[in-house]
Amino acid sequence: MNRLLRKPRVAFQGERGAFSEEAALTLLGPEIELVPRKTFADLFKSLEKQLADYLLAPVENTIAGVVQPSVELLRSSSLSVLDEVEIKIEQHLIGCPGASFETIETVHSHPVALAQCSRFFANNPQLKPIVADDTAGSVAEVVRLRDPKRAAIAGRRAAELYGATVIRQSIQDQTENYTRFVLLSASRERNESFGVQALACLQEQQPKG
């Protein structure tokens, strides 16, 4: 296909329906080709492997803080920050059709999403949090297995996309929950004022632990 006619390919970490996908569409609009990547390591290899023209990576959340795996890969790369976007994150407890709160025993999601809902788990000690690669991917797995004992934490977009049921809404610790994402490229192709705030954040934040 002629490169001039091809939609820009934007890679993001997670499955379709992930918050990163929502952030990409918010920043760039629908005229892009979305490229889901399973892990952050896969995401940051997307340009090198010519699977995408840009990638969108989360760097900071208002509850969980720095998204350390993503930021560490960004710091060790030579990629340029072109732009940034911040979206509101609402985490929901999601089960397969027919599941109820009383049937759930395990809750699967990305570690950052689980961290954003620590108060929910403290108030419901019968629920065991299980770390997974992705929020939306956890929903897809819940629907595939159709196990009423298993639930996921993700956004409403993922529930709608995979035909799952929202069992509890907005279970994150704070209502004002936002994640900042940066748009990255192998070369600086956009206005150089883009991404200034994100770059300052990356320079100021120090790794935890």
Q: Which residues are catalytic?
A: 179, 181
Angle between helices 68-75 and 196-204 (to 10 degrees): 100
**Radius of gyration over every alpha carbon of the chain, rounded to an integer in angstroms:** 17
CA atoms 14, 18, 21, 23: torsion sign: negative
Who's near 198: CB < 8 A, 6+ residues apart? 59, 81, 84, 180, 182
Measure the CA–CA gap between 105 and 90, rounded to whole angstroms.
22
Q: Which residue has the tokens 């911040």?
A: 86
Q: What is the dihedral of CA 151, 22, 44, 117, to 10 degrees?
A: -40
CA distances from 123 to 90, 127, 128, 131 (A): 18, 9, 12, 19
